[in-house]
């Protein structure tokens, strides 16, 4: 079984400051890892994903995440927050040998302070 823990249901950062959203996972097999963003009343948009290879993954909108196997983490970062980054962010994990099913974390609401 797989699970995802997102520390901090709400995170507030000032515009221009570093964004750090935490994600830890539990998986019995090397997982695929994802970060999705959700704007109000919309579906989810993929920010980035890790499958294999380079552990530092770059995504859209200036976001990146690093897969750290030893820490079972996949934290999401962005060097400089923008007002448009305000949204809900979900970390997810899937089993590469499974049926594409995603297991989501509980989400982190990011607020940007002007």
Partner 1 sequence: GAVVSQHPSWVICKSGTSVKIECRSLDFQATTMFWYRQFPKQSLMLMATSNEGSKATYEQGVEKDKFLINHASLTLSTLTVTSAHPEDSSFYICSAGPSTDTQYFGPGTRLTVL
Q: Are 6 and 20 in contact (CB under 8 A)?
A: no
Can residue 25 be called a binding residue for partner 1 (CB under 8 A)? no
Out of 80, 96, 111, 113, point to the residue binding partner 1 (CB under 8 A).
Answer: 96
Q: Which residue has the tokens 């962005």?
A: 78
Minimum distance, C-beta of residue 91 to partner 1, in the bound complex (Å): 10
DSSP tag of 82: -
Out of 32, 35, 63, 74, point to the residue binding partner 1 (CB under 8 A).
Answer: 32
32 Cβ contact partners less than 8 Å away, ≥ 6 residues apart: 49, 50, 51, 93, 94, 95, 96
Minimum distance, C-beta of residue 44 to partner 1, in the bound complex (Å): 4
Q: Rule CB under 8 A: which residues touch partner 1?
A: 32, 34, 36, 41-46, 49, 51, 90, 94, 96, 99-107, 109
């Amino acid at each position: 079984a797989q699970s995802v823990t997102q520390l901090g249901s709400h995170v507030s950062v000032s515009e221009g400051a570093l964004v750090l959203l935490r994600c830890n996972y539990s998986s019995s097999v090397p997982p695929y890892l994802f970060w999705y963003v959700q704007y109000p009343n919309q579906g989810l948009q993929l920010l980035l994903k890790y499958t294999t290879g380079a552990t530092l993954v770059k995504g859209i909108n200036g976001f990146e995440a690093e897969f750290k196997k030893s820490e079972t983490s996949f934290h999401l970062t962005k060097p400089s927050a923008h007002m448009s980054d305000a949204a809900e962010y979900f970390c997810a994990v899937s089993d590469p040998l499974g049926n594409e099913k995603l297991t989501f974390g509980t989400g982190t609401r990011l607020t940007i302070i002007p």
